[in-house]
Amino acid sequence: MKKNQIKTVKGFNEVLPPESFRWRMVEDKFRDLLEGYGFAELRLAMLESTELFARSIGDETDIVEKEMYTFLDRSERSLTLRPEGTASVVRAFNQYSFGKTSEINKLYYVGPMFRYERPQKGRYRQFHQLGAEVFGEASFYQDAETLVMLAQLFHTLSVEGVILHLNSLGCEACRPAFRDQLKSFLLDRQTSLCSDCQRRIQENPLRALDCKNPACREAVVGAPQINESLCDDCRDHFSGLCGLLDDAGLDYQVNSQLVRGLDYYTRTTFEFLAGDLGAQNAVAAGGRYDRLVEELGGKPTPAFGFAIGFERLMMLAGDKLAPLSSPFAALVPLGEAALRRLFPIHVNLNRDAQVTTLSFQQKSLKSQLKKADKDGVMYALIVGPDELSQEIAICRNMRTKEQTQLPLRNLEEALQELYHEC
Ligand code: HAM
């Protein structure tokens, strides 16, 4: 790369061809599955008021404290590039009064998110999520349906070895007592904790439970377990969910340390973890957040959702996708008159799918056939001055090298027939 060329900002992941074709295949499967379950797409703003994330994800979280792309615009408003989708979907749910038009709202989104994290394999500063949120359904049946749907997506994509980790974080009735218990446990071990966890003992002691710092991991061994402090309603919700997952044959591990890095969760939290991903092993995550709609100014509305890390999903699914299809035929003109004759055929055939390639440069027969071979086409249709005068095209089967003749007048129809026969 030359010195004066401009590059992407570090950690901003872009998707280039041919990878972008594979992303589209996976995205189409995601859309088909979700729309089958009654979800509709939201295309949301990428820039929001900073306050939205501070109030939803939580002031004391890593995301809000350290990872947001926040800046003042020209009118001195504090704006933030969205670090996740849930807060924006809830903002939209309230802003456009979705709850009024239908009792249950199922919404999905696909797009880039931005977090100032240290870039490494599977972790980027611009990454992409496939996410979904369901509003208005408090039943654990909703949690189960959504989790099974996610497992079905992995199955459809032949992604194996993904394990569902599940926990309940309780509700406003039972969590405060647990927090107090945990706080006093952590205060006794305060000096062993990292500076972030020490600082958060008062406001957000649960974060210490999934802090990755080895000293913190050791310090929380034997900490009180949230699932032993659940109220009856939360316990029933969790055991109801586990029962449905058992019935559906979906394996899971109850993981009482799973508290997640965002503050809005109530009851169910989950992560799908994949050993093949290395250190950044969560391919999808989410849970229930029954209070967030109200906290952001809406009517009390239960909600459940998830987001899949698109880059991580592609690391698991990429190799298993069907190979990309090649164009069907190469139109090989020899001379300007042949090119002119083949051009309308080429554009008509490619209206719905890429059927033909056509070189606009005057290249030799040999080099055009070499390129056709490289592109993996089935047929080359050769037209030179002789063929033009005889109103024919030579149809060369690129595998068998057999050559036949096709009438030029009906070439479009003849190629269409061959294409549909394949
Ligand atoms: P999250 O756990 O922060 O949850 O992110 C969800 C997924 O996004 C992660 O499991 C991971 O696959 C991917 N991801 C997160 N950060 C990065 C990164 N820096 N680089 C690459 N991939 C990343 C949420 O975002 C919640 N909004 C999920 C949710 C939806 N909860 C309820 N509804």
Q: Which atom of ligand 1 is nearest to the CA of 122?
A: 21
Between strands 303-309 and 356-358, the pairing is unpaired
Give the residue, by CA position, lying nearest to ligand 1 atom 11: 309
Q: Is the CB of 85 under 6 A from ligand 1?
A: yes
pLDDT digits (tens, 9 = 90+) for 44-88: 999 999 999 999 999 888 999 999 999 999 999 999 999 999 999
pLDDT digits (tens, 9 = 90+) for 307-349: 999 999 999 997 788 777 889 999 999 999 999 999 999 999 9
Q: Is residue 183 part of a domain?
A: no
Q: How many CA atoms lie within 13 Å of 49's alpha carbon, on the beta-carbon side?
A: 9
Q: Is residue 355 part of a domain?
A: yes
Domain co-membership, 63 together with 133: yes
> Is 331 exposed, middle or buried, given 0-12, 13-18 or 19+ CB atoms closer than 10 A?
buried
Domain co-membership, 237 together with 108: yes
Q: Which residues contact 407 (CB under 8 A, 6 or more apart)?
A: 391, 392, 393, 414
For a ligand 1 pocket test, name from 10, 14, 108, 113 the mutation site with the most ligand atoms within 8 angstroms of its C-beta: 113
Q: Is residue 194 part of a domain?
A: no
Q: How many CA atoms lie within 13 Å of 165's alpha carbon, on the beta-carbon side?
A: 16
Domain co-membership, 148 together with 54: yes
Q: Which of 320, 344, 362 is the last residue of a domain?
A: 320
Domain co-membership, 89 together with 237: yes
Backbone angles phi, psi at 337, to 5 degrees: -65, -40
Q: Is residue 375 part of a domain?
A: yes
Give the residue, by CA position, lying nearest to ligand 1 atom 15: 309
Domain co-membership, 273 together with 360: no
The domain of 334 spans 329-421
Residue 285: CATH number of its domain: 3.30.930.10
Q: Is 18 helix (H, G, I), strand (E, B) or coil?
A: coil
Q: Is residue 170 part of a domain?
A: yes
pTM above 0.85, yes or no: yes
The number of folded domains in the chain is 2
Instruction: Give me the amino acid identity at 288.
Output: R
State how far the Cα of 275 lies from the Cα of 294, in Å rounded to an integer.
37
Domain co-membership, 98 together with 243: yes
Q: Is the CB of 284 under 6 A from ligand 1?
A: yes
Which tokens in the block code for residue 68?
Answer: 């947001």
Q: Is the CB of 132 under 6 A from ligand 1?
A: no
Domain co-membership, 360 together with 251: no
Q: Is residue 5 part of a domain?
A: no
Between the CA of 411 and the centroid of ligand 1 the distance, in Å, is 51
Which tokens in the block code for residue 276?
Answer: 């093949």
Q: Is residue 246 part of a domain?
A: yes
Q: Which of 298, 320, 342 is the last residue of a domain?
A: 320
Domain co-membership, 234 together with 371: no
Give the residue, by CA position, lying nearest to ligand 1 atom 33: 305
Q: Is the CB of 178 under 6 A from ligand 1?
A: no
Domain co-membership, 343 together with 400: yes
Give the residue, by CA position, lying nearest to ligand 1 atom 20: 123
Between the CA of 269 and the centroid of ligand 1 the distance, in Å, is 13
Q: What SS3 string covers 90-151?
A: HHHHHHCCHHHHCCCEEEEEEEEEECCCCCECCECCEEEEEEEEEECCCCHHHHHHHHHHHH
Q: Which atom of ligand 1 is nearest to the CA of 288?
A: 32
Q: Is the CB of 123 under 6 A from ligand 1?
A: yes
Domain co-membership, 315 together with 339: no
Give the residue, by CA position, lying nearest to ligand 1 atom 18: 123
Q: Which of 320, 340, 369 is the last residue of a domain?
A: 320
Q: What is the pLDDT along the chain (422 residues), one digit of tens a residue?
A: 778 899 999 999 999 998 999 999 999 999 999 999 999 999 999 999 999 999 999 988 899 999 999 999 999 999 999 999 999 999 999 999 998 888 779 999 999 999 999 999 999 999 999 999 999 999 999 999 999 999 999 999 999 999 999 999 999 999 999 999 999 999 999 999 999 899 889 888 998 988 888 999 999 999 999 989 999 999 999 999 999 999 999 999 999 989 888 999 999 999 999 988 888 899 999 999 999 999 999 999 999 999 999 999 999 997 788 777 889 999 999 999 999 999 999 999 998 878 899 999 989 999 999 999 999 999 999 999 999 999 999 999 999 999 999 999 999 999 999 888 87
Q: Is residue 190 part of a domain?
A: no
Residue 377: CATH number of its domain: 3.40.50.800
Between the CA of 84 and the centroid of ligand 1 the distance, in Å, is 7
Element (H, E) at 283: strand 282-288
Q: Is the CB of 309 under 6 A from ligand 1?
A: yes
For a ligand 1 pocket test, name from 90, 262, 269, 289 the mutation site with the most ligand atoms within 8 angstroms of its C-beta: 262
